[in-house]
Amino acid sequence: MAELRLGIVGATGVVGNEIIKIIQERKMEFKDIKLLASKKSVGKKVKFYNKDLVVEDLSEETFEDIDILLVAVNSDLSKKYSLLAAKKGVTVIDNSSAFRLKKDVPLIVPEVNSDDIDNHNGIISNPNCSTIIALTALNKINKYAGIKRMVVSTYQAVSGAGAQGLQELKEQISDLENNRDIKVKAFQYQIAHNLIPQIGPFNSDGYSEEEMKMQNEGRKIFNNPNLKISCTCVRVPVYRSHSESITIETEKEITVEKAREILSKSPGVKLVDDPSNSKYPMPLDTSNQDLIFVGRVRKDITSEDNKSLTLWCCGDQIRKGAATNAVQILEKVIEKKAYRN
Amino acid sequence: MAELRLGIVGATGVVGNEIIKIIQERKMEFKDIKLLASKKSVGKKVKFYNKDLVVEDLSEETFEDIDILLVAVNSDLSKKYSLLAAKKGVTVIDNSSAFRLKKDVPLIVPEVNSDDIDNHNGIISNPNCSTIIALTALNKINKYAGIKRMVVSTYQAVSGAGAQGLQELKEQISDLENNRDIKVKAFQYQIAHNLIPQIGPFNSDGYSEEEMKMQNEGRKIFNNPNLKISCTCVRVPVYRSHSESITIETEKEITVEKAREILSKSPGVKLVDDPSNSKYPMPLDTSNQDLIFVGRVRKDITSEDNKSLTLWCCGDQIRKGAATNAVQILEKVIEKKAYRN
């Protein structure tokens, strides 16, 4: 892989920054790395192994000498640059929602559907954070029992709104602590000591954009167009791990014991489920690492058969929910030689 | 009602204190009020209208000259004093879980089942906070369409653990803000910037005590022994309002429009449901008042018929979730002359 030339668009954002960190943790080597960002970040130096990389400006020419491009900017910017890069023969791994539901764009959680990478046409999409977390957790249970319905309530960290979101919670807590007026910018309302049941705009059925991603992306990743997911997405005053309370209904019977056995062997998952000793996943324990912690596994007591389970999972939104998953896709692309050159 | 002699056990706790506040807000008058608490609070003065009441010690003799007793202490203490008082002919309104599921003890949410008060045998129970909030919200929808199943995920404030819980979140935030070590006492783990998916001990099926209360108490209050509720209860770093994400299945069809119409006229409920203008219930808005705010009402998109809805509600845990509901029961007892004398 030392022969490949890598580019990272949005290198100075929260996710871009974490991608650079994870590439070094995993000791990945490239022939060349180009860090790209908007004008205001150009010239910034970023430590990479023992070199200083200088952030460069984005332009059409930039993509001439890049083989694989990781894109970690918003949907509008991604639409512009990902298409441009793909047209020039670059293989793009895009973190935004811009292309996720397009037919010729694989949407990948490596533990679940890495073979779908083979069908890419220049762009591969990284799913939404809460979707990655839920689907990594449920992957092997789905393979065993066939999930047909999910009811999900999320508890989403402020990092989902990027550096601004992290900063806003920190500042509001400090301002309230010091009897100063708070500022509200990244979220609709004060998030410190509060909950906001809105992530993204609402559709005419009353579901938020974030809530619909779970079903729309979940169907594609699990390759099950009939999968039904009803989701309530809530922003909580937690810094960087998302948590989800999930009830599933399956085609086939599955006991709690079987589910625990499956989860204990699921890739990317750590089973933390010992209620009598108060062991269960919590956002503080799951931050700054890559596994999805799953626990509180129990039979859905509203169901009469053995086809419904309830569980609780937590995962770092910036890492497995975004940056780590993107780097895992990058690794798979390299392993499969699925880049164009 | 000026002829009645009232007693309050646990007068210096968070709920007892709020009960005293609410009685004055509602301008209720009594011939005599006795504030009772444990030894360490005896002698404390509490403002009541323009008098200073002195907190007295609990003893068997205390109950001789009381007609109605509000009890706001833990289950163990309540078992002792409520039974003692009831034996002496006092009508007891108990806030603890000690008697809630006993056959001859009415379990009351005044908006829902105040007629059940008539059957009391000395003790009337005030339900669990998250149960009161959900059932006040769903009361009229249940009457219209018959709720048969509920899947609930809660977001519960630290006030549920009393003064200690409130203090612990405040101190942890301040300690973290000032780079001091935090103390963990009221909860199992750090609650600041975290979530704890445990409220009370777990049963052998993996459900916490708090989670089972919703079904056990819900069946009694809605007078429906077949009601099925699966609940996930989570402590969140919010001070005093509980929030709940609820999916219901009903016997009869009910549209979103009909549900909104019913909610807009439901006693004790405020419909706050205008997603396009980012209007929905939030814990900050619902603290220090008595209504349960309900919003995010929408069709459960995993359901094919019109018999499943999803909604979000918030209510003040100390007030409607405890103290206000107890005072409303007191008002009903007086109105119905359902006290013994």
Tens-digit pLDDT profile for residues A248-275: 999 999 999 999 999 999 999 999 999 9
CA B64 to chain centre: 28
- For residues A292 and A268, is the Cβ–Cβ distance under 8 A? yes
Mean pLDDT score, A274-294: 98
For residue A340, the model assigns a pLDDT of 76
> Nearest Cβ partner of B195 from A155, A232, A278?
A155
Residue A339: half-sphere exposure toward Cβ, Cα within 13 Å: 24
Place of tokens 């929030």: B243
- For residues B260 and B302, is the Cβ–Cβ distance under 8 A? no
d(CA A292, CA A269): 5
- For residues A309 and A248, is the Cβ–Cβ distance under 8 A? yes
> Nearest Cβ partner of B280 from A198, A237, A239?
A198
Sign of the torsion formed by the C-alpha atoms of B93, B95, B99 and B102: positive
Q: Kindly provide the residue ranges of all beta strands, DSSP E only, lying in chain B, ordered along the sequence.
A: 5-9, 32-37, 45-48, 51-54, 56-57, 68-71, 91-94, 123-125, 147-155, 228-232, 241-250, 269-271, 292-299, 308-316
DSSP 8-state class, residue A178? T
How many pairs of residues across A and B have Cβ atoms under 8 Å apart? 166
Mean pLDDT score, B69-84: 95
Contact A207 B297 (CB under 8 A): no
User: CB under 8 Å to B97, separation ≥6 — which residues?
Assistant: B75, B128, B213
Q: Does any CB of chain B come closer than 8 Å to the CB of residue A188?
A: yes
Torsion of CA A83, A84, A90, A93, to 10 degrees: -40
Mean pLDDT score, B188-197: 98
User: Distance between the two ends of chain A, CA-based, in angstroms?
Assistant: 13
Contact A202 B275 (CB under 8 A): yes
**CATH number belonging to domain B5-127+322-335:** 3.40.50.720
Mutate to test the interface with A, among B133, B150, B151, B153 (most CBs of A within 10 A): B153
Phi, psi of B293 (to 5 degrees): -85, 135
A193 is catalytic: no
Contact B173 A177 (CB under 8 A): yes
- For residues A91 and A67, is the Cβ–Cβ distance under 8 A? yes
Question: Which pLDDT band, with edges at 50, 70 and 90, does A306 fall under?
Answer: very high
For residue B291, the model assigns a pLDDT of 98
Per-residue pLDDT tens digits for A315-329: 999 999 999 999 999
Minimal-distance CA residue of chain B relative to A152: B153
d(CA B264, CA B259): 9
> Nearest Cβ partner of A284 from B193, B276, B312?
B193
> Nearest Cβ partner of A197 from B149, B234, B280?
B280
DSSP A180-249: PPP---SSSS--TT--B--SS-B-TTS-BHHHHHHHHHHHHHTT-TT-EEEEE--B-S-SSEEEEEEEEE
Question: Which pLDDT band, with edges at 50, 70 and 90, does A1 fall under?
Answer: low
For residue B2, the model assigns a pLDDT of 65
d(CA B89, CA A288): 60
- For residues B122 and B84, is the Cβ–Cβ distance under 8 A? no
For chain B, the three-class secondary structure string (H helix, E strand, C coil) is CCCCEEEEECCCCHHHHHHHHHHHHCCCCCCEEEEEECHHHCCCEEEECCEEEECEECCHHHHHHCCEEEECCCHHHHHHHHHHHHHCCCEEEECCCCCCCCCCCCECCHHHHHHHHHHCCCEEECCCHHHHHHHHHHHHHHHHHCEEEEEEEEEECHHHHHHHHHHHHHHHHHHHHCCCCCCCCCCCCCCCCCCECCCCCECCCCCEHHHHHHHHHHHHHCCCCCCEEEEECCECCCCCEEEEEEEEEECCCCCHHHHHHHHHCCCCEEECCEHHHCECCCHHHHCCCCCEEEEEEEECCCCCCCCEEEEEEEEECCHHHHHHHHHHHHHHHHHCCCCCC
Neighbours of A83 (CB within 10 A): 16
A38, pLDDT greater than 90: no
Complex ipTM value: 0.97
Q: Does any CB of chain A come closer than 8 Å to the CB of residue B222?
A: no
Tokens standing for A177? 């602590």
For residue A59, the model assigns a pLDDT of 81
Mean pLDDT score, B37-50: 93
User: CB under 8 Å to B91, separation ≥6 — which residues?
Assistant: B67, B68, B69, B120, B122, B124, B333, B338, B339, B340
Mean pLDDT score, B214-229: 98
For residue A2, the model assigns a pLDDT of 65
For residue B59, the model assigns a pLDDT of 80
> Nearest Cβ partner of B245 from A174, A232, A238?
A232
For residue A61, the model assigns a pLDDT of 79
Tokens standing for A5? 């030339």
A341, pLDDT greater than 70: no
Minimal-distance CA residue of chain A relative to B304: A228
For residue B1, the model assigns a pLDDT of 54
Mean pLDDT score, A1-13: 89
Residues 240-279 of A with CB under 8 A from B: 243, 245, 247, 256, 275-276, 278
Question: Which pLDDT band, with edges at 50, 70 and 90, does B341 fall under?
Answer: low
> Nearest Cβ partner of A189 from B174, B239, B282?
B282
What percentage of chain A's residues is helix, strand, coil (to nearest 5)? 35, 25, 40
Range scoring the smallest mean pLDDT among A34-38, B112-116, B179-183: A34-38
- For residues A1 and A62, is the Cβ–Cβ distance under 8 A? no
Residues 153-172 of B with CB under 8 A from A: 153, 155
Q: Kindly provide the residue ranges of all beta strands, DSSP E only, lying in A156-287, ordered along the sequence.
A: 228-232, 241-250, 269-271
Minimal-distance CA residue of chain B relative to A208: B275
Mean pLDDT score, A183-193: 98
Mean residue pLDDT across chain B: 96
- For residues A36 and A73, is the Cβ–Cβ distance under 8 A? no
Q: Does any CB of chain A come closer than 8 Å to the CB of residue B190?
A: yes
Mean pLDDT score, A276-280: 97
Question: Which pLDDT band, with edges at 50, 70 and 90, does B269 fall under?
Answer: very high
Place of tokens 């077949």: B226
Residues 24-43 of A with CB under 8 A from B: none
Report the percent of chain A where pLDDT is more than 90. Answer: 95
DSSP 8-state class, residue A275? G
Question: Which pLDDT band, with edges at 50, 70 and 90, does A58 fall under?
Answer: confident
Question: Which pLDDT band, with edges at 50, 70 and 90, does B62 fall under?
Answer: confident
Mean pLDDT score, A230-235: 98
Mean residue pLDDT across chain A: 96
Contact A296 B232 (CB under 8 A): yes
B314 is catalytic: no
d(CA A233, CA A227): 18
The distance between the two most distant Cα atoms of chain B, rounded to a whole number of Å, is 62
The H or E element that residue A309 is part of is strand A308-316
Domain extent listing, chain B: 5-127+322-335, 131-317
Mean pLDDT score, B292-315: 97
How far apart are the CA of A214 and the nearest CA of chain B, in angstroms? 12
For residue B61, the model assigns a pLDDT of 79
d(CA B284, CA B302): 31
Residues of B in contact with A302 (CB under 8 A): 149-151, 228-230
Per-residue pLDDT tens digits for B231-268: 999 999 999 999 999 999 999 999 999 999 999 999 99
Report the candidate in A163, A115, A159 with the shortest Cα–Cα distance to residue A133. A159
Mean pLDDT score, A299-305: 96
CATH of A131-317, one of 3.30.360.10, 3.40.50.1370, 2.60.40.10, 3.65.10.10: 3.30.360.10
Contact B150 A302 (CB under 8 A): yes
Residues of A in contact with B281 (CB under 8 A): 197
Please list the residues that pair with B297 across neighbouring strands: none
